[in-house]
Amino acid sequence: MKKNTLSLLVTGLAFVSILASCSKKESTNNITPVIPPSHPIAAGNISGFVKGTLLTGSTYTITADLTVKKGDTLAAQPGAIVVIKNDAQININGVLQVLGSQNNPVTFDSDSQQPGSWGGFACDSAQAVTIKWAHVNNTGGPDPSGDPRKSVSVAVAINVDIEDSWFTNGQDDLMGIKLAHVTILRNTIQSSGSTDGEAINLKAGVTGDVAYNVIYNQAGSGVKLETSSSVPFPQTVVNVYNNTMVANGWRRGAAEPGRGVSVGVNAIGHIYNNLMVNNYQGVDIFPDGDTKNTTYGNNLFYASAATFTDNANVVINLAANFYPSDGVGTAQTSDVISKDPLFVSFDGSFIKPNGAANPYDFHVKTGSPAIGKGNATYNADIGAYTSDGKGNKH
Amino acid sequence: MVKKLYFFILLIFSTTIVCAQNATLRGQITNTKTRERLQGATVRFDEEKHAVITDENGNYILSVAAGEYKIKVKYVGYAEFEKKIKLSPGQTVVLNITMEQKEENLQAVSVFGRLDKESEAAGRTAEKDANNITNVVTAKVMERSPDINAANVLSRVSGVTIQRNTGGSEAYAMIRGLEPRYNNTLINGVKVTSPDEKSRYVSLDVVPSDLLQKIEVSKSLLPEMEGDAIGGTINMVFKDAPDTMLIKANAQIGYSQIFLDRKFQSFSTADISSKSPLAINGDDYKAQPGDFSRSNLDFKQKTALPSAVAGLTYGNRYLDGKLGIMIADNYQNQYFGTNSQFNPVVANPQDDFKPGITDFSNLTYSNHQINNGLAVHADYIIDKRNKILFNNVFLYSYLAQARLGIDTAIVGGNGGRNGPGTGTVTDDNRSLVQKELLENFKLEGKHILSKHLLFDWAGVFSVSTKKMPDEADISINHLIKTDFTSTPDYFDGITHTWQHNNDKDEDGIANLTYKGKINDHTLELKVGGLYRHKDRFNEQDQYQLKPLAGADGGKQIYTGIENASWSVYNAKGTADYDVNNYTAFEDITAGYAEFKLSLNKLDIFGGVREENTSQGFDYATFIPTAENAVRKNYTDVLPSLQLNYKLNAKTNIRASYFKSLSRPNYYELVPYNIQGTNGTSETGNPNLKHATADNFDLRYELYPKDDEQLFISGFYKKLYDPIELELTGFGGGDITYKPTNIAPEATIEGVELVYTKYFGRIGVSANYAYIYSNVTSLKDFPDTTQKNTAVGKLESRPLQGQTKNSANASLMYRDGAHKVFVQLAYQYIGTTLSQVYNNYGYDYYHQPQSFLALSGEKGVGKHFTLFGKFNNLLNTPTTTTINNITVGRDIYKANYNIGLRYVN
């Protein structure tokens, strides 16, 4: 009895469990309601004071300076296309929220598609700036005083979040940012600046991270860190890691060579895991920087030739410029020096014009000396394309 | 009507036998009571047009054909003297005359009267008889002093210092240590427009001193005077028509030591286009590389020509003396230069945040300036009661300036410097040509309505323009590497700027004066008003030329301007939306009422003035990110009370209180950066408030003789909302200053001494000013507890521009008989706060300066005087320091001039 009872119990349990397994799992079908965007902006010409959302699949033409007032937001949905005419610029005194997607980025470009043919985002007194998955091309046209304008300029202590975007063929600085907290990740910045301009110019108390960016063929430096020369506080403190910087700093000439990364004027940089190939100069820690608190290492330096001779017959010893003699930085034992990183494709060129095409693939092949040589605090690998998939997605 | 008063004649006949037909009459003219020698009295024979004016000792000499004459002597404020005299051939007659001062009479003094306003004694008389506290510099003093323009003259007045720009081509007056903004500058009593885009007032160095009859510096204001002067008012009075024909001419040449020591940098102005490419070709034009000249950027080393100055003055009266005409022209063609060093500093975080140098910058200026001033005065006496005056001042100034600069960045920039003599060196060379025109037309009338009433009016039309065609600036750089080898020069860009502005001013002024008596005391009542409309426009068009890429796509090598190639970066120019394109206006309506009661020994003078100001500003194009249309409106009530106690005939004690204001300049309201040189820029402030002040003065005046004086004065001023330039940090990476009411109030107190005395032939003139000012404002202080931050800390300091000690001393030698006059002038300016620094404990200071100048003249024959003026003999530099670091040094070197003067 005791045994029967037991087997019955077991059989019953088994039956119930079979029944249970046959019963349908509860499913919640969450029908996402289509939330209409705030203040949808109708396709066509826009200028003056504007707020609202640039819509997926719509094309907009900015015919004159556009201004987003304080408290207002200009948002962009994936796939919105914005064409800028008449050297206009976008003034953001409120919130900028450009949210493209990997498959459907947002595009900002001028009608002429020539370098330096529109103003860019003047966010000097913005309340927040977010740019994700967007193309920002051909900025840097002259401002009212005839000076070139930045792709994105910020001069206020806000959050600036620029991720997964392309900045192509601008003039002067691409990102000129002061005071803000920055998250600049996985962007591609290429062929910008005619005879001057940095790709990422961070000054006057900027904090945050610059990582996994690819910077190619910039006239001046890739990343420049400074505290304001007239206002010593707050200091600029930025982590610069896992960026790939190729062929930068040539167009500004030998009198003011461009660097992969420079740290000057009381700024603090933490510079690790960057991959630097064919730059005029590599990592330059100027004596006026906060040299005591600046740290660096695990950077890979490579030049595809021993020397380069510019049109003034200035012969540049490339290996000597990895840590140039005018700075106080020196090669670290963790650095990888003069080893070919084995890019998937690169022609080994040095100087190219503003607006040159970038047909190259700066992923590294298997067996690259960049793999596994990184400072693990940041990433096990060196460069913007890492084997853990955290890197650049372009 | 006025009866001839007592006079006393002393006639001494002395006969000399000379074989000549002519007779000579000479003598001395003095005040009957005081025995003062009267300089500037007119002595004439009735039938003869010829007249002479007594010299500084009251002496005169006349040479005429023998015969019988009626001699007449006139001196303003004195009874006319008349006497018949017979002169035989070859006779020399000495006739000493004493004259009796007339009872003060409205008709004589206020309307038709005229002293010899150019003499030194007249200056003293003007100071003595003024209703307020003044210092007067007369033409005679200017003629003899080493100064050729109003700026130099004013620097010798007690409590006045001159602020110059680095190029040495602009000069504005600071009175009692107050910045030029706190003072106003008048021509013939009315404000003049300024061709400068930054200043309200005309630069004093374009006003030739030879055109001036006198300069009055008023340190206290009467209600009848415009109220926007906290430091004081400078009134440049141009020459007036004389009673008899006057012809004066002078010519001088000079050279500056600086061009004996280095070459003059010159450039060609031949290819300078007066208009910008867009202005020539229309709005749709796109500027091409070929539209821009090269020759004005081709700097050549030359030997400077000598400077030349020439002046001609003619005056006479026509239509039986009813119409007086005075025409004076002065031409100056000068070459002068500056060698300047400027090293900006910032707080160095690696050295406990003490100021450290960021750049080494050397600038050499070579200036060629041509000034021409033409003053025309006419007065027409309709009848004994009505007079019309016409004054026109026309000034033209041309300046061609080359500025060659060499700059090495030590901190920041794209440099990289780890030792002296290395780093990126930028050559910044600029040429500019500037033409300024100023026209000031004034028509005024004086009408005696009745025995007691005087009505006077004036209409003023004033216009000034400045054109700066094609200011061109080229930047070239090279790198001195750590092994001291240099890269070649790279071409870094060119800027061409066309600028033009115009300032117009229309004034209407009317005053009504009552003069009568109450119980034998003179009472004067005066009411009046002023309306002024002022407007201004400023236009700018700027082009940036970017170097084309070099052979390999890199930076272009610079091998000379002829080979440089560029593209036009902003082909449309900046004219359409340049923020320097603006229109501005200012309307002032003012009215006042005042009284003067002369008791036996005490003059009481008081009243109140009300000024309403409406100021505003518009951009040519709407700029969405900034305040566009700025409008301000305010009314100030300005009371004034002056007491003058005449202790005796030679001593006055004065006390005064007045309230005054200082208005912001037009451009200071505009919220935009005006880019300066040397990496500093200035940004406007629409919230800037106008400053006001309570002013208290006390002065003791002693006039032992009519050309001797002793003044002792003290003053106290309390300023509300003083305007200073505040360092607001970075703006586009530059050091930016903003006019701000930094502190809510400031106090200034001081003591001044003025002393002039003659010991026979040797005279001493000295003045000294001690000024203490106090401003308390917040500054940055490194936080000791929390690293990486700064806290605000209050610091007391002097007001910007303040000099604690300033002194002038002149030693004069005059020998009337031999017509010799020599003056050695010494000037001392103590430590001056030149700019406010943002960190606690530090400010920029000008170091003490001592200047020495020598001038002399010698009469040759009857009409000619030979003179020499030698300036800055000690080669005194202007040195600026902060934290014991020399950050600026301007060197001008000595200047030598000799010349000849003719007087009929």
**B95 and B110 within one domain:** no
Q: Which residue of B has its CA nearest to A265?
A: B412
- Is residue B303 domain-shared with residue B270, that is, in the same domain? yes
Q: Are residues B408 and B472 both part of a single domain?
A: yes
Contact across the interface for A255 and B346, Cβ inside 8 Å: no
CA distance B125 to B136: 9
Clarify whether residues B158 and B37 are in a common domain: no
The amino acid sitting at B433 is V
Query: Do residues B119 and B55 both lie within one domain?
Result: no
Tens of pLDDT along B409-435? 776 666 656 666 778 888 889 998 989
Q: Which of B347, B555, B557 is the closest to A232 by Cβ? A: B347
Six-digit token string for B450 = 């009745």
Instruction: Name the least confident of A249-253, B357-361, B437-441.
Output: B357-361
- Picking from A117, A145, A221 by the largest number of B CB atoms within 10 A of its own CB, the best residue to mutate is A145
**Would the CB atoms of A265 and B730 count as touching at under 8 Å?**
no
A contact test, residue of B359, B490, B887 with most A CBs within 10 A: B490
B361: tokens are: 């910058």
Give chain A positions within 8 Å (CB) of B487: 253-255, 312, 314
Measured from the Cβ of residue B282, the count of other Cβ atoms closer than 10 Å reads: 8
> If you average pLDDT over every residue of chain B, what do you get?
80
Q: Tell me if B857 is assigned to some domain.
A: yes
Cα of B531 vs its chain's centroid, Å: 25
- What is the structure's pLDDT at A242? 94
What is the per-residue pLDDT across A147-198, written as a single tens digit (0 to 9) for each? 788 899 998 889 999 999 999 998 878 888 988 999 999 999 999 888 888 9
* Residue B367 belongs to domain with CATH number: 2.40.170.20
Please tell me the predicted confidence (pLDDT) of residue B170. 59
Query: Which pair of tokens denotes residue A132?
Result: 């994700």
Phi, psi (5° rounding) for residue B733? Answer: 85, -10
Would you state the pLDDT for residue B167? Answer: 46
Q: Hey, are the CB atoms on A146 and B574 less than 8 Å from each other?
A: yes
Of B422, B425, B788, the CB nearest to A235: B788
Average pLDDT over every residue of A313-326: 86
Instruction: State the best of B730, B785, B786, B836 to mutate against chain A, taking most chain A CBs within 10 Å.
Output: B730
Tell which wins on pLDDT, B112 or B552: B552
CA distances from B885 to A188, B595, B866, B881, B889 (A): 45, 55, 46, 5, 11
Nearest to B701 by CA among B686, B691, B711: B711
CB B494 within 8 A of CB B297: yes
Q: What is the pLDDT of residue A210?
A: 93
Instruction: Report yes or no: B423 at the A interface, CB cutoff 8 Å.
Output: yes
My answer on whether B85 and B168 are in the same domain is: no
B832: Cβ contacts below 8 Å, ≥ 6 apart: B161, B801, B802, B803, B845, B846
pLDDT of residue B754: 86
Q: Of the ranges A114-128, B144-158, B236-250, which is most confident?
A: A114-128
Whose structure tokens read 């400072």? A375
Q: Is residue B244 part of a domain?
A: no
- Test B490 with A146 for CB contact under 8 angstroms: no
- Enumerate the residues of chain B whose CB falls inside 8 A of the CB of residue A286: 415-417
Segment B634-668, tens digit of pLDDT: 999 999 999 989 888 788 899 999 999 998 887 77
Question: How confident is the model over B710-729, as a mean pLDDT?
Answer: 85
B134 and B271 share one domain? no
Contacts of A53 (CB under 8 A, 6+ apart): A37, A38, A39, A40, A41, A75, A76, A77
Q: What count of residues does chain B have?
A: 904
Whether residue B353 and residue A254 make contact (CB cut-off 8 A), yes or no, is no
Instruction: State mean pLDDT over B326-336.
Output: 87
What does the pLDDT average to over A210-228? 91
Do B416 and A286 count as a contact with CB atoms less than 8 A apart? yes
The CA distance from A193 to B709, in Å, is 70
Residues B519 and B596 in one domain: yes
Q: Could you tell me the pLDDT band of residue B12, with boundaries at 50, 70 and 90?
A: very low
Residue B554: which of A48, A229, A253 has the nearest Cβ?
A253
Look-up of token digits 């200043």? B199
Nearest-angstrom CA–CA distance, A46 and A66: 7
The DSSP element (H or E) to which A308 belongs, if any, is strand A307-309
Q: For residue A104, what are its two tokens?
A: 């459907």
For chain B, the domain total comes to 3
Residue B555 has its nearest CB partner, among A48, A252, A325, at A252
In a domain, B1, yes or no: no
The enclosing domain of B155 has a CATH number of 2.170.130.10
Does the residue B580 lie in any domain?
yes
Instruction: Give CA–CA dist A41/A66, Å, rounded.
Output: 13
pLDDT band for position B125 (cuts 50, 70, 90): low
Q: Which of B46, B64, B99 is the last residue of a domain?
A: B99
The reply to whether ipTM tops 0.85 is: no
Q: Are residues B84 and B156 in the same domain?
A: no
Q: Which of B183, B208, B238 is the last residue of a domain?
A: B238
- The C-alpha R_g of chain A, in whole angstroms, comes to 25
DSSP states of B818-836: TTEEEEEEEEEE--EEEEE
CB contact under 8 A, B416 and A326: yes
Query: From the list A235, A254, A266, which residue is nearest B487 (CB)?
Result: A254
Taking residues A229-243, what's their average pLDDT?
84
* CA distance linking residue A282 with residue A274, whole number of Å: 10
Shortest distance between the Cα of B556 and any Cα of chain A, in A, equals 8
* Residue B257 phi, psi dihedral angles, 5° rounding: -55, -30
Cβ contact (<8 Å) for A255 and B542?
A: no
Determine the Cα–Cα distance for residues A252 and A234; give it in Å rounded to an integer. Answer: 29
Chain B neighbors of A204, CB-CB under 8 A: 730
The average pLDDT across B81-100 equals: 80
* Distance from C-alpha of B878 to C-alpha of B166, rounded to nearest angstrom: 9
> Which band of pLDDT confidence, cut at 50, 70 and 90, is reported for residue B72?
confident
Residues B158 and B297 in one domain: no
How many Cβ atoms sit within 10 Å of the Cβ of residue B614?
15
Both structure tokens of B343:
């090293």
A39-43, A318-322, B193-197: range with lowest mean pLDDT:
B193-197
pLDDT category of residue A77 using cuts at 50, 70 and 90: very high
Confidence of residue B7 (pLDDT cuts 50, 70, 90): very low
- Chain A contact present for B102, CB below 8 A: no
B547 in A contact zone (CB under 8 Å): yes
Share of chain A above pLDDT 70, in %: 92
Q: Containing H/E element for A8?
A: helix A2-22
Contacts of A190 (CB under 8 A, 6+ apart): A166, A167, A168, A169, A214, A215, A216, A217, A218, A358
B542–A145 CB contact, under 8 Å: yes
The position carrying tokens 């110019």 is A201
The answer to whether the CB atoms of B411 and A288 lie below 8 A apart is: yes
B555/A255 Cβ within 8 A: yes
DSSP per-residue codes, A362-378: EEE-TT-TTTT-S-TTT
First to last CA, chain A: 72
pLDDT digits (tens, 9 = 90+) for B434-484: 898 888 899 999 898 888 888 999 999 988 888 889 889 999 988 887 778
- Whole-number Å distance between alpha carbons of A151 and B185: 48
CATH of the domain at B52: 2.60.40.1120
pLDDT of residue B123: 63
Domain limit, last residue, from B238, B271, B301: B238
Q: Could you give the 3-state DSSP secondary structure of residue B127?
A: helix
In a domain, B3, yes or no: no
Structural domain that includes position B78: 9-99
Q: Which residues in chain A are contacts of B559 at CB distance < 8 A?
A: none
Residues B198 and B302 in one domain: no
Q: d(Cα A38, Cα A49) in Å, to the nearest integer?
A: 16
Considering the domain architecture, whether residues B234 and B265 belong to the same structural domain is answered as no
Strand-pair category, B724-731 with B762-782: unpaired
Higher pLDDT, A232 or B700: B700
DSSP symbols for B208-267: BGGGEEEEEEESS--TTS-S--SSEEEEEEEP---SS-EEEEEEEEEEETHHHHSPEEE-
CA atoms of B232 and B798, how far apart (whole Å): 19
